[in-house]
Amino acid sequence: MESAFLAWLRQRLPADVRLRLGPGDDAAVLRLGDGAECVATVDVLTDRVDFDLRRDDPRRVGRKALAVNLSDLAAMAARPTAALIGLVLPREGGLRLAQELYEGLLPLADEFGVAIAGGDTNAWDGPLAVSITLLGETTSRGPLVRSGARAGDRILVTGAFGGSILGRHFDFQPRVAEALLLHARYELHAGIDVSDGLSLDLGRLCDESDCGAVLQAAHVPVHADALRLAAERDDGRSSLEHALSDGEDFELILAVPPVAAAQLLAERPLSVSLTDIGEFVAERGLWMEDAAGRRPLARRGWEHDFS
Amino acid sequence: MESAFLAWLRQRLPADVRLRLGPGDDAAVLRLGDGAECVATVDVLTDRVDFDLRRDDPRRVGRKALAVNLSDLAAMAARPTAALIGLVLPREGGLRLAQELYEGLLPLADEFGVAIAGGDTNAWDGPLAVSITLLGETTSRGPLVRSGARAGDRILVTGAFGGSILGRHFDFQPRVAEALLLHARYELHAGIDVSDGLSLDLGRLCDESDCGAVLQAAHVPVHADALRLAAERDDGRSSLEHALSDGEDFELILAVPPVAAAQLLAERPLSVSLTDIGEFVAERGLWMEDAAGRRPLARRGWEHDFS
């Protein structure tokens, strides 16, 4: 129901000239009074959904809560500046938990130049929820949005996909520096980060760009974790299926015009891998191509379920 | 333990030149790259703590969640611009609940010129939590901070206090327009909004300003709700005690130099009442004065309890 709710909400919200970009992208872009632009995003992480305090170290939880927001700013090619931290703590053990969450997120904040600007710390008789709002600024190239992909653009991705549940969903490196570098040096048309699943987030980018995409099955970078998970679970889902739908990879999907894509792949300016996995097409829809031909690709991934 | 945690946190956070004002005031003030200032605050409201969905209309809950943030920006004399809404919904009935929350907050957003810039909507097997981050901008007079009160300043308050639990904690009017008008026309030294209790929040303002305060018992504006609550509860707490400690009044406490205070009280530029309730003094501490003399005043109010 999450996407149904978002559709309702976007229709319900009035237009506002101060929103260069409102709900529907990885972050909002606000025009401030004096022409400056402020990028803002919020993510709420909850116990037993995004982590499980019965087994996960609160420091890793704190790190993840900030990292997922950093990944949203990476998807906008925006520079992070400041964070506000809202905590809802269980009463019992809340003090130590709060301190450990901060101990986990502060080194990451330092690494990415994020000032902790403020927060709100609450306690209740419920489980932990962590809400982080991250603010940032666009560069002179403006924000990288979801809506700019065009038919003929190449689909480039950073890193590899699948099996993040084995631990990478805590320890991933948000692609902020990578996005800033690529956005500064190459012509990028659109971008999104993979939080909920490669096929699902690619589909979202296509929706906003009013286009479709064809993936080359053999080119999708499957993470070693996806291979391990497929082998361990033995539930009939292949490692490629894990790569397409597991989510929480927090890698980037970029729409890049062919000339820039060729240049980029020749120059390889990043330390992380960059792979061409297919092409954006005019017709709406997702397809997968392999030796057997082209077939429709279902969007699969994580969506919050409520009704 | 909330104040103990905040003390720990403020010590733990590194200084940052981009923070004109970091944690410890009603909102943070960030210097953006081009010299503009962005004001930001976050508040998380939770079921059974800040409201109770067993009896409270979700629309009133949504309104309150935005209104408490507006009150924080009022305390900074900042102009609100945009909000980000983080929801953690119970799975059952979450869709309707989310819609009703928005139906409650959107008219208030419209009234105060707040653009809904984005959000995050989650579901879990727990109760409702609403996290709102509000962004704003300072006027040419800069932010009104907690730390500027000086000995000799008059203590002025808007409105009346106590008994907000009878319903006013949902329906209060954030004093944004009032704060902007006063800050533009008069010399104000400091300000805070009363979210947790008149004596508690006055004490916080004194802490940040490194001063104390003497209240005149007879001058504290006691709300009719405080009289009603004292009568109904009959627990030995007077209506004045309710006024001093109930909290969620969301009125302003202002530190105003004597000449400006006299002018302000003569001109009465607001439609809401403004009352002189005492004086800031050099010695740290809070006191109450009446016909019987001066005695120490305990800080009482709402603090989140966790350990």
- The nearest CA of chain B is from the CA of A215 a distance in Å of 29
Query: Cα separation of B118 and B115, whole Å?
Result: 9
Residues of A whose CB is below 8 A from B18: 81-82, 115
CA distance B67 to B53: 18
Domain ends where: A112, A138, A164? Answer: A138
Whether B174 and B114 map to the same domain: the answer is no
For B105, name the nearest residue in chain A, comparing CA atoms only.
A13
pLDDT above 80 for A304: no
- Residue B256 counted as domain residue: yes
Q: Is residue A304 a part of any domain in this protein?
A: no
Rounded alpha-carbon distances, angstroms, from residue A304 to A6, B46, B91: 11, 19, 9
For residue A21, what are the domain limits?
2-138
**What DSSP character marks residue B15?**
P
Residues A37 and A101 in one domain: yes
Q: Can you say whether the dihedral through the CA atoms of B145, B147, B152, B158 is positive or negative? A: positive
Given B16, B38, B81, which is nearest A135 (Cβ)? Answer: B38
Residues A180, A82 share a domain: no
- Domain-located, residue B4: no
Residue B107, in any domain of the structure: yes
Q: What is residue A15's predicted lDDT score, i.e. its pLDDT?
A: 87
CA atoms within 13 A on the CB side of B227: 5
Would the pLDDT of A229 be above 70? yes
> How many Cα atoms sit within 13 Å of B230 on the Cβ side?
19
Residues of A within 8 A of B304 (CB-CB) are: 89, 121-123
- Give residue A210's pLDDT: 98
Residue among A50, A120, A134 with most chain B CBs within 10 A, to mutate = A120
Kindly list the residues from chain B whose CB atom is less than 8 angstroms away from the CB atom of residue A35.
Answer: 34
Q: Across residues A187-201, what is the average pLDDT?
A: 97
Domain of residue B124, CATH code: 3.30.1330.10
Residues of chain A in contact with residue B38, where contact means CB-CB under 8 angstroms, are 32, 38, 135
Distance from CA of A114 to the nearest CA of B (A): 9
Kindly list the residues from chain A whose CB atom is less than 8 angstroms away from the CB atom of residue B81: 18, 30, 32
Task: Output the pTM of the full model.
Answer: 0.94
B307 found inside a domain? no
Q: Which residue of A has its CA nearest to B113?
A: A16
The first and second tokens of residue B228, run together, are 């009603």
For residue A76, count CB atoms less than 10 angstroms from its CB and return exposed for 0-12, middle for 13-18, buried for 19 or more: buried
N residues, chain A? 307
In this model, does residue A35 exceed pLDDT 80?
Answer: no
Q: What is the model's pLDDT at position A255?
A: 98
Residues A42-100 have pLDDT tens digits of 999 999 999 999 999 999 999 999 999 999 999 999 999 999 999 999 999 999 999 99
On whether residue A147 sits in a domain, the answer given is no
Interface test with B, best of A18, A43, A72, A84 (most B CBs within 10 A): A84
Are both A123 and A197 inside the same structural domain?
Answer: no
Asked whether the CA dihedral B200, B205, B211, B212 is positive or negative, the reply is: negative
With beta carbons less than 8 A apart as the criterion, state whether A44 and A131 touch: yes
Nearest residue of B to residue A119, measured between CA atoms: B42
Q: Give the whole-angstrom CA distance, residue B261 versus residue A111.
A: 47
**Amino acid, single-letter form, for residue B197:** G
Does A201 share its domain with A114? no
A123 in the same domain as A257: no
Pairwise CA distance, residues A77 & A136, whole Å: 10
Contacts of B118 in chain A (CB under 8 A): 22-23, 25, 27-28, 40-42
Verify whether the Cβ–Cβ distance A305 to B16 is below 8 Å: no
Say if residue A107 is in the same domain as residue A210.
Answer: no
Q: Looking at chain A, which residue has its C-alpha nearest residue B26?
A: A118
Task: Find chain B residues with C-beta within 8 A of A32's C-beta.
Answer: 32, 36, 38, 81, 137
CA A245 to chain B, closest CA, distance in angstroms equals: 19
Q: What is the pLDDT of residue B24?
A: 82
CB contact under 8 A, B22 and A305: no
Residue B259 belongs to some domain of the structure: yes
> Residue B232: CB partners within 8 Å, gap ≥ 6?
none
A291 in Cβ contact with A237 (< 8 Å): no
> Inter-chain contact A38–B116, Cβ cutoff 8 Å?
no
Cβ <8 Å between A4 and B123: no
Q: What's the alpha-carbon Rg for chain A, to the nearest Å?
A: 19
Q: Which residue does chain A place closest to B17, by CA atoms?
A: A115
DSSP A229-262: HHHHH-SS--HHHHHHH------EEEEE-HHHHH
Report pLDDT digits (tens) over A241-295. 999 999 999 999 999 999 999 999 999 999 999 999 999 999 999 999 999 999 9
Q: Examine the domain organization and report whether A160 and A132 are in the same domain.
A: no
What is the C-alpha to C-alpha distance for residues B95 and B92, in angstroms, rounded to an integer?
A: 8
B115 found inside a domain: yes
Q: Show residues of chain A in contact with B3, CB under 8 Å.
A: none
Counting as low any pLDDT under 70, the low residues of chain B are 1, 33-34
Residue A234: Cβ-neighbour burial (10 angstroms; 0-12, 13-18, 19+): exposed
Instruction: Decide which of B78, B108, B138 is a domain's last residue.
Output: B138
DSSP helix/strand/coil, A265: helix
The number of folded domains in chain B is 2
Tokens of A119: 């927060």
Q: Which of B12, B49, B87 has its CB closest to that of A124?
A: B49
Q: Which residues of A touch B115 (CB under 8 A)?
A: 16, 18-19, 22, 30
pLDDT score at A25: 87
Cα of B263 to nearest chain A Cα, Å: 32
Query: DSSP class of residue B301?
Result: S
- Reduce the DSSP state of residue A135 to 3 states and report it: strand
Contacts of B99 in chain A (CB under 8 A): 5, 8
What residue ranges in chain B does DSSP mark as E strands? 19-21, 28-31, 37-46, 78-90, 115-124, 129-138, 154-158, 190-193, 212-216, 252-256, 274-281, 285-290, 293-296
CATH number at residue A284: 3.90.650.10
Which residue of chain A is at minimal alpha-carbon distance from B90? A306
| Residues B218 and B284 placed together within one structural domain of the fold | yes
Tell me the two tokens of residue B252: 């302003």
Residue in B42, B46, B127 nearest the CB of A119: B42
Mean pLDDT taken over chain A: 95
Supply A209's token pair: 């760009």
Examine the domain organization and report whether B197 and B96 are in the same domain: no
Retrieve residue B225's tokens.
């709700």
For residue A18, what pLDDT is reported?
87
**Nearest chain B CA: its distance from A59 CA (Å):** 15
Minimum distance, in Å, between the CA of residue A85 and any CA atom of chain B:
8
- The verdict on a CB contact (< 8 Å) between B127 and A126 is yes
Please name the member of A13, A90, A304 whose beta carbon is closest to the beta carbon of B116.
Answer: A13
Q: What is the pLDDT of residues A3-22, one digit of tens each?
A: 888 889 988 898 888 898 88
Record: contact B118-A28, CB cut-off 8 A: yes
Q: What is the DSSP string of A61-76?
A: HHHHHHHHHHHHHHHT
A45 and A101 assigned to the same domain: yes
A88, A114, A138 - which closes a domain: A138
CB-based contact B123 A305, cutoff 8 Å? yes
In this prediction, residues A195-209 reach a mean pLDDT of 97
Could you tell me if A228 and A285 lie in one domain?
yes
Size of interface A-B (CB pairs under 8 A): 244
